[in-house]
Amino acid sequence: MARLSRAGPPTSLAGPPASRPGQSFQCRRAPLRRKRSSSLGLAISRFFVCFASLVAGFFSAGPIHAQSRLDWMTSRVWSIQDGLPDQVILSMAQTPDQYLWLGTRLGLVRFDGYHFIDYGADLAPALHDFGVDCVLVVRDGSLWLGTQGGGVVHLFPGGGRTYNTRAGIANGLIRALYQDEAGRIWAGTDNGLYRLDSGEHFSRIDDRGGIHGAAVHAIVGDGHGGVWAGGSRLLHIDASAGLGTISWQEVALPQQKGSLRIWSMAKGSGESLWIATLGGLYHLPDGVGSVATKEPRVLGSALSLLVDSHRQLWVGTMDEGLYLLSENGSVTRARAPDQLASNSVLALAEDRSHDLWAGTQSGLTRFSATGMHLTRVPGAIDSEFGSVAVDADDSLWVCSRRLTHIRNGRMEPVNLPSITGFAIHSVMRERSGAFWVGTLGRGAYRIAPGGHIDHYTSEIGTNYIRGFLETPFDGVWIASDGGVANWRDGHVTSFQNVPGAPHAPTLSMAAGAPGELWVGTYHGLSLLRNGAFVAAPAADALGSHAVSAIHVSDDGALWIGTESGLFRWHDNQLQHIRLEADMNAPAILTILEDGHHRMWLGGPTTVVRADRSSFESLAAGKDKRLFNPEIFAVSLETGAELGSGAASTAELDRSGGAWFTTNEGPLHIQASNPRHDGAPPPIMLGQVLVDGERVAVKGPVILQPSAKTLVIDAPPIALSARPGLQLRRRLIGFDPDWVAISPLQSATYTNLPAGHYTYRVEASWKDAPGATVLELPIVQRTHFYRQPAFLVACLVALLLAIWAGHRMRVRQVMLRFRLVAEERNRVAREMHDTVVQGCIGVSSLLEAIAIRHAPVGADDVPTDEANLLNSAREQIAVTILEARDAIWNLRHPHEGGNLSNSLRSLLDRITTIQGKRVEFESDGTALSLNVEAEHELFMTVREALHNALVHAGAEHIRLSLRYVTDSVLVSIRDDGSGFTAGSTDDRGEHFGLLGMHERMERIGGTCRIDSARDRGTMVELHVPYERNVRTVRPEQESR
């Protein structure tokens, strides 16, 4: 925040100044009369005579202009309250990664523009134990640090090294460090000059030329390989200095009051050298051989020097502030508390953005070319927001409870003792030259060019005046806490009590068509037309927003600033334009439009400027990414807040710039914003917290399954004051889209699902292409019982368990089958050895008896006994046959697999035993039935064949097996005796036929029997494939 200097004492109002020729001063009452006491009138008359003389003197004020570059630089201060570990800054330097490093009494501090971090104590304890007196960044980007008693410390990526007495440095209090053109490191101490030649050991230089015990507090190169060393003496060491005897010269400086003490040096143009001493600033114009002269414009002791990239010299002093010596010879001075944290400036540095940094005894200060200039008015921060008014001569009037006039770069407070206790809140110069003064409690005053003074109080409606507005057709409008009033040709008309009046403090005014006035209050927008408040569609559409600013553009559009943002009324349509992303707050407090159709919008903390067409495009719904305004971060750079609540809190000047009121004084913004070049700032990983614990990051962040919360801090390194920095972050693999963030905003994630992610942050300038990127891989591990390998192992184990269970089941079934088979074989053996053998024995006896009683002749008739015997023989034969069948079945249980082969095997056995042939045929594509279905069908066919052979006495049997589309068909036809319905009980066949039906029903099939006496029998079996098919196997057979 550049500050205009105060020249001379405040204007005295002790007596009336001499009037100019031809001018008369008198006080006349306003047209609306009211009685006053004579003593009060006399006092007021005397006051206005004095005041009119003062105002008349101001009419010739010159324009406000910059004295030098410093006047248009904004300053910002950091102190302990902002996180600075130690307020005394001894040295500074910026590394290639853009960090700013501060040497303090408590150690080394790293600054990224947002955070101050204590650094390096773990790498070199001497930094914390002794503090850092000087900081040097060498060509490889590493840091060399001089401590206050611990020697020299070298910090490099991943480590550090300390050089102390064991490395050849006898005095550990290091005052200066320097790297020469050969890459060697020089170190100056309170007692000796050292140089690191071998990389391991410092060699003392000063005792080789007979210098002995020189105190060295500053070292700079001479541009030719030589070195200037200053402390208790000023020495020049020749470029040819080696490890042997060196060549040096001592340069005398003018005699000072005390002993010589050089604190800093800076190489100027050519061979010149600037020297900062306790006795002041000295200049050696041509190096060795020239005579040093003192710079008289720099007061006090000089402590620090810097020649910036513009070849301007910055001089930090003790108790006298900061000086800037420009190449054109001008000198500008910055002092505390307006621009500096302290008037003792111990260190200076310029960063890559050409901002200047000043380390003082009370904090850190940055000077930046932002195009803004804040003039602090004493006492303004303790008062409410006032107003500004640009006079016809481009001088400025500032109202903030008291009246201040700024002209020719000088700020002059105006004391008005006659209105003590009543604040001046607004002023305005009419086109006619008349001057208006609005107060809080005493109404308004109008001072005519001829010196006549009118005082208006009750005529206005209230004595609390908020502002003035002059229009070409309607005279002067007066805004007050009670409404609006109009002055024209010496008459005041109040509209405070007319129907439809808002009855609220007037915050803003704007003239529409002749006879029209738009009025903004806390309750919305009103339209005064030809002396009456009328309904307005714009007011109805806007609603009850607090209207802080109104502007009518030349195309008839109405622009409205409210606490909710910017509105535009055009073509009977209200459009809401949101600018929170650019202004950091929705409220719009001021609206201006200059002659280039650029609109200036002021919010609580920020001013944006852009062509009106850009705002019109936003109102029309165009892509906001194309909106690229100039941004002035007022609060961020100055700490001040923009004002509101008055009708004139912002005003254009005559040079294309604009003035704004703040809580600390008037702020001026230039017509053109300084150009900012360069890539976006780098993004560095700050800290990563997992469940509140900080973790070291040397690769991907591995989160254990129990991790619940992840916090990532990745701020940009933004030392510059350049506005418009945009940051966005995204956790790729988790966040669906990008999220805009602020530089101090951390990212927090809770309960991340297991997986691999990439945390990505991008930084870019709003008004420039390109972006810098930071990526951090993150792996969220899962519990072992959720890992794929574990799930696969569980699946394999389950399959093995199923397989093992199946094997066990199969073994159990096979065991049971084997036991059953063994039991069947045993039963078969027992039947063969007992029942069958017994039946065979009985059959043999019956055969023998039959032979003995057989008839001899052909005509012999068998007796009844013979017939019974023959029946017994036949019965026993059948019994033996059935027993053998049973034995065969026990030893050869049907296991399924091929029905056709099973039936053939059965028929072959029948042919062998019975001696009868059965015709068999098979047709169709064979489908393998399941074991149960095939067994039941086989047993049913066997029962039918048994009935045909044994009971029907058939001579010819035909068996047919056919595979059709959806079933198996089996038919058995014989030419036996047959039977009729109801006769089966007599033949003992009832249970056999019933069993055939039951077997077929068990497998979902049917059994149909067609028979008649002496006509044979037809058995048809039908088995559907549904639920009975096992596999498909084509087979075409015919027999």
Question: Six-digit token pair at 544?
Answer: 């009850």
Mean pLDDT of the chain: 83
Q: Is residue 243 over pLDDT 60?
A: no
Place of tokens 């109002």: 13
pLDDT of residue 373: 85
pLDDT of residue 851: 77
* Contact (CB, 8 A) for 1016 and 964: no
Q: What is the mean pLDDT of residues 571-580?
A: 91
Q: Residue 971's closest CA among 1007, 1001, 996, 930?
A: 1007
How many angstroms separate the CA atoms of 455 and 440, rounded? 14
How many angstroms separate the CA atoms of 133 and 856, rounded? 154
Rounded-to-10 torsion of CA 681, 683, 684, 688 = 150
How many angstroms separate the CA atoms of 167 and 147, rounded? 15
Going by the DSSP 8-state scheme, the letter that residue 951 receives in this structure is I
Residues 6 or more apart in contact with residue 543 via CB below 8 angstroms: 524
Give the sheet arrangement for strand 739-741, strand by strand.
701-703, 772-780, 755-765, 725-732, 739-741
Confidence bin at 187 (pLDDT 50/70/90): very high
Least trusted range by pLDDT, from 79-83, 337-341, 518-522, 837-841: 837-841
Max mean pLDDT among 72-76, 82-86, 620-624 falls in 82-86
Confidence bin at 677 (pLDDT 50/70/90): low
Higher pLDDT, 61 or 928: 928
Chain length of the chain: 1039
pLDDT of residue 868: 76
Report DSSP letters for 824-872, one per residue: HHHHHHHIIIIIIHHHHHHHHHHHHHHHHTS-SSTTPPPPHHHHHHHHH
Query: Terminal CA-to-CA distance of the chain, rounded, Å?
Result: 117
Q: How distant, in Å, are the alpha carbons of 284, 566, 623, 671, 942 from that of 615?
A: 56, 10, 11, 19, 101
- Percent composition of the chain: helix, strand, coil (DSSP 3-state, to 5): 20, 35, 40
* Contact (CB, 8 A) for 605 and 567: no
% pLDDT > 70, the chain = 86
Tell me, what amino acid is at 258?
Answer: G
- Convert the pLDDT of each residue in 803-822 to its tens digit: 999 999 888 888 887 888 78
Q: What is the mean pLDDT of residues 657-683?
A: 85
Question: Six-digit token pair at 949?
Answer: 């052979």
Higher pLDDT, 1001 or 894: 1001
Higher pLDDT, 496 or 674: 496
Torsions phi, psi for 794 (to 5 deg): -65, -40
How many angstroms separate the CA atoms of 876 and 833, rounded? 16
How many angstroms separate the CA atoms of 412 and 536, rounded? 45
Q: What is the mean pLDDT of residues 40-56?
A: 38
Q: Is residue 611 over pLDDT 60?
A: yes
* Contact (CB, 8 A) for 553 and 592: no
Q: How distant, in Å, are the alpha carbons of 174, 233, 279, 708, 895 from that of 259?
A: 20, 10, 9, 65, 124
How many angstroms separate the CA atoms of 2 and 735, rounded? 45
How many angstroms separate the CA atoms of 481 and 438, rounded? 12
Q: Residue 317's closest CA among 361, 284, 283?
A: 361
Q: Residue 709's closest CA among 749, 680, 746, 743?
A: 749
Confidence bin at 359 (pLDDT 50/70/90): very high
Question: Six-digit token pair at 722?
Answer: 């350049």
Confidence bin at 861 (pLDDT 50/70/90): low
Confidence bin at 246 (pLDDT 50/70/90): confident
Question: Six-digit token pair at 122?
Answer: 């773990």
% pLDDT > 90, the chain = 46
Least trusted range by pLDDT, from 339-348, 485-494, 519-528, 853-862: 853-862
* Contact (CB, 8 A) for 973 and 1004: no
- Convert the pLDDT of each residue in 948-1005 to its tens digit: 887 888 888 999 999 998 899 999 999 888 887 655 444 444 667 888 898 899 889 9
Torsions phi, psi for 580 (to 5 deg): -60, -40
Q: Is residue 53 over pLDDT 60?
A: no
pLDDT of residue 379: 64
Q: Is residue 28 over pLDDT 50?
A: no
**Chain mean position to CA 63:** 47
pLDDT of residue 101: 96
Confidence bin at 382 (pLDDT 50/70/90): low
Question: Six-digit token pair at 70?
Answer: 């410093």
Going by the DSSP 8-state scheme, the letter that residue 718 receives in this structure is -
* Contact (CB, 8 A) for 388 and 661: yes
Q: What is the mean pLDDT of residues 94-109?
A: 94
Residues paired with 447 in a beta bridge: 435, 453
* Contact (CB, 8 A) for 409 and 37: no
Instruction: State pTM to two decimals.
Output: 0.68
Going by the DSSP 8-state scheme, the letter that residue 947 receives in this structure is I
* Contact (CB, 8 A) for 266 and 218: no
Q: Residue 201's closest CA among 163, 149, 173, 172?
A: 163
Confidence bin at 59 (pLDDT 50/70/90): very low
Give Rg (Cα) of the chain.
56
Confidence bin at 860 (pLDDT 50/70/90): low
Q: What is the mean pLDDT of residues 86-95?
A: 96
pLDDT of residue 519: 96
pLDDT of residue 894: 54
Confidence bin at 5 (pLDDT 50/70/90): very low
* Contact (CB, 8 A) for 702 and 779: yes
Q: Is residue 69 over pLDDT 60?
A: no
* Contact (CB, 8 A) for 759 and 747: yes
Least trusted range by pLDDT, from 292-296, 346-350, 799-803, 828-832: 828-832
- Convert the pLDDT of each residue in 431-479 to its tens digit: 999 999 999 888 999 989 988 888 999 899 999 999 999 998 899 999 9
Kind and range of the H or E run holding 909: helix 899-914
pLDDT of residue 389: 92
Q: What is the mean pLDDT of residues 632-640?
A: 85
Which own/partner contact pairs does 519-522 have at CB distance under 8 Å and 24+ positions apart?
Answer: 519/479, 519/483, 519/484, 520/546, 520/547, 520/548, 520/549, 520/550, 520/560, 521/546, 521/547, 522/546
Kind and range of the H or E run holding 470: strand 465-471
Question: Six-digit token pair at 35?
Answer: 């009685």
Question: Six-digit token pair at 789?
Answer: 């390998």
Beta strands 701-703 and 772-780, pairing class: parallel
Residues 6 or more apart in contact with residue 864 via CB below 8 angstroms: none
Least trusted range by pLDDT, from 33-42, 272-281, 799-808, 971-980: 33-42
